[in-house]
Amino acid sequence: MVKFIKIDEGKYLLDVRGYTCPYPVIYTRKALTKLSSGNTLEVLTDNPPSCENIPRAVKEDGHEVLSVENIGRGVWRITIVKR
Amino acid sequence: MFEEVLERIKYYKELGLNPLALATGCAVKVDLLRVVYPSIKFLREELKGLNLLIAPREDALVIPGSINEVCRRIYSLGSDKDVSLEDIESLSRGRDLYAVTVVQVFQRYADSPEAFLEKIAPIYKALAQSRVPITIGKGHSILTPFPEDEFILFDFMPHSSGKGEGITAVNNDTIHIIDPSQEPGDMKQISGAISNSFNDIFVLGVHKKLRMIPVLNAPTEELLEKLWRNAKLFAKQYNIEIIDGMQPKRGRLLMGATAIGHSDKKPPMFEDRVKPGMKLVITRPMGELAPINLYLSSIIDESIVKELEIHGISFEEVEKAKNRAVEYISKPNIEAAMAIYKYLPDIFEEFKEDEHIVVTTDVTGPGVFVVKELAERTNTKIRLYGIPLLFPEISRIATKLYIIPNSTSGTNGPFIMIVPDNIVNDLIRELKSRGLEPSVIGEVIGKGEPEVIAPKKLKEYIADQKILSQFKLE
């Protein structure tokens, strides 16, 4: 299941590993609606197309993408700041 | 309004399946441009001079003559421990082997050619040590979110002697699911999956002596039996002979087949005969996946329903479009194959550029990008007049909301043909008489550097810049 937790003050984690397109984008957008402006969301995904689709979609919504990092075999962390 | 669908999602979960992790389209295949092609290029170099040839990319394997035997082997990925050269040689009994293959790889190994090669290279290298020449004619690579579901399947076919008996076309395609909002045992799921496997041979006008070796898997015996029952019903309906073959017996849902057909006509692969002035004809509009993905996304996120309403589309309309898309997918394109067959030269006849269809392709995962592939295959400049979509507004919204990066994508999609101008009207009449919705979508405007000029509107239907950048928009 999708994991959405607070990991620190103003910092949240969304774990969508195991999900394929288009669900990681949808869950990311949904999670961002629950955050306050300036909060950070870290998205973990193991679906390669999501590394392109998530940043593109959230930028379109006006949020800031700080980084897309490969943090292990086929796992990426996308860090987004809600604007 | 979602209760019924949520019930089904619960049912999938009871089977140990997450329907939302079953890719319907964009994510099911390993990225061809970034991962598969560079891996194959590397393997070709590595295997040079050995007994394994990986044929150039074609939609289907075309073999001169007939194929009488098919022998399936399934190996684990990442090691050569399952490959037995004695076994391969016993299949061959002195004859050259052709093969089609399916790889299901854990998605974390599908992000780079290096990682993908870690999984497949040991098997290819082991097979290359065989004393029997093996030609791998068609490979199909799909992703799984589950590491324990990985496998590679080969359908080996010893080459019987040709003797001008026509051609045999072979293709393999497998999918996880067509419509996760319906039961996996629904007839449309199997019809769509098997039709999709036959699409790449139908596109060549091949529609006789149809045979298939199903690839079926399910998490319970009961569901697996249902899939087999449905596959047999489908085979009976379209006069397809079923050949038994071993099954992966691992993983969750998997539906598809190795599809085989025979033709006494030359396939439409006359790339060097394409000339300016020839027209591009499509058998029906494209874009089946957009309403399916938009529908499923709306169920997960109700804010999408509100967004749809802002655009003047109700959820019910999306549901209706989704059901129509599934109808299209679950119908085999055999009528289109029969129409193409009519405009092909007999096996001993010369191709005539005022009588015959020149080249064909089917619209699948890459959607309208297949036109760019046509331009590359034929070294031509093509102008597209328009993008015929089944549900233009739904495709536009699905793209805008990043629900699908390329809303022209399809499964078991229509065929695009390059056709001499003087047979266009005849061909369109023929296709219409067979219940299809053909139209002329473009023309060849020059030879040389491959290029596709498309209407600017294409931007509304493709968010994936890698694909969009392949077109010159005007």
- The letter for the amino acid at B262 is H
**Which structural domain range is residue B375 located in?**
271-473
Beta-carbon contacts of residue B404 (< 8 Å; ≥ 6 apart): A21, A22, B25, B26, B289, B290, B293, B294, B395, B398
The Cα–Cα gap between A23 and A14 comes to 12
Contact B337, B202 (CB under 8 A): yes
- Residues B130 and B223 placed together within one structural domain of the fold: yes
Q: How big is the A-B interface in CB pairs under 8 Å?
A: 82
B162 and B300: one domain?
no
- Of B233, B263, B293, the residue that ends a domain is B263
Residue of B nearest to A72 (CA): B108
Residue of B nearest to A1 (CA): B18
Q: How far apart are the C-alpha atoms of B92 and B100, rounded to whole Å? A: 15
By residue range, what is the domain housing residue A16?
3-81
Q: What is the CATH number of the domain that holds B34?
A: 3.30.1330.10
Q: Verify that B102 and B180 share a domain, yes or no.
A: yes
B304 shares a domain with B251: no
Count of CB atoms within 10 A of residue B86's CB?
7
Q: Specify whether B54 is located in the same domain as B200.
A: yes
Same domain, B329 and B235: no
Q: Which of B263, B287, B314 is the last residue of a domain?
A: B263
Identify whether residues B91 and B226 lie together within a single domain.
yes
Chain B contact set for A20 (CB, 8 A): 21-23, 27-28, 107, 143, 145
* Predicted pLDDT at A73: 83
Query: In this complex, is the C-beta atom of B26 within 8 Å of any C-beta atom belonging to chain A?
Result: yes
Do B315 and B463 sit in the same domain of this protein? yes
Contact B403 A26 (CB under 8 A): yes
Q: Is residue A22's pLDDT more than 90?
A: no
Domain total of chain B: 2
Question: Is A20's CB within 8 Å of B107's CB?
Answer: yes
Q: What total number of domains does chain A contain?
A: 1
Tell me which amino acid residue B6 is: L
Q: Are residues B347 and B289 in the same domain?
A: yes
Distance from CA of B21 to the nearest CA of A (A): 5
Return the CATH number at B316: 3.90.650.10
Determine, for residues A73 and B304 on separate chains, whether the beta-carbon distance falls below 8 Å: no
B232 CB-contact burial (10 Å; exposed 0-12 / middle 13-18 / buried 19+):
middle
Nearest-by-CA chain A residue for B147:
A18
Chain B residue with Cα closest to A28: B301
Tell me: the pLDDT tens digits for A29-82? Answer: 889 999 999 999 999 998 887 888 899 889 988 999 999 999 988 899 999 999
Check which CATH number belongs to the domain holding A20 and give it: 3.30.110.40
Of the residues B241, B263, B285, the one at which a domain ends: B263
CB contact, 8 Å: B107 with chain A? yes
Backbone angles phi, psi at B241, to 5 degrees: -85, 135
pLDDT of residue B19: 66
Residues 384-413 of B with CB under 8 A from A: 401-405
Q: What is the pLDDT of residue B322?
A: 94
Distance CA A83, CA B20 (A): 28
pTM of the predicted protein model: 0.91
**B252 and B284 assigned to the same domain:** no
Residues B97 and B224 in one domain: yes
pLDDT at B26: 45
Chain B contacts of A19, Cβ < 8 Å?
A: 18, 20-21, 145
Q: What is the pLDDT of residue B57?
A: 76
Query: How close does chain A come to B405, measured CA to CA in Å?
Result: 7
Catalytic residue check, A51: no
Instruction: Please give chain B's pLDDT, 474 residues, in tens.
Output: 566 767 777 777 667 666 665 655 545 778 777 888 899 999 989 988 899 988 887 779 999 988 889 999 999 999 999 999 999 999 998 889 999 999 999 888 988 899 999 999 999 999 999 999 999 988 889 888 788 889 999 999 998 765 557 999 999 999 888 888 888 899 999 999 999 999 999 999 999 999 999 999 998 999 999 999 999 999 999 999 999 999 998 778 889 999 999 999 999 999 999 999 999 999 999 999 999 989 988 887 788 888 899 989 999 999 999 999 999 999 999 999 999 999 999 999 999 999 999 999 999 888 999 999 999 999 999 999 999 999 999 999 999 888 888 899 999 999 999 999 999 999 999 999 999 999 999 999 999 999 999 999 999 999 888 889 999 999
Give contacts of A46 with chain B, Cβ < 8 Å: 107-108, 145
Q: Whole-angstrom Cα distance, residue B54 to residue B48?
A: 10
Q: Based on the fold, state whether residues B253 and B320 are members of the same structural domain.
A: no
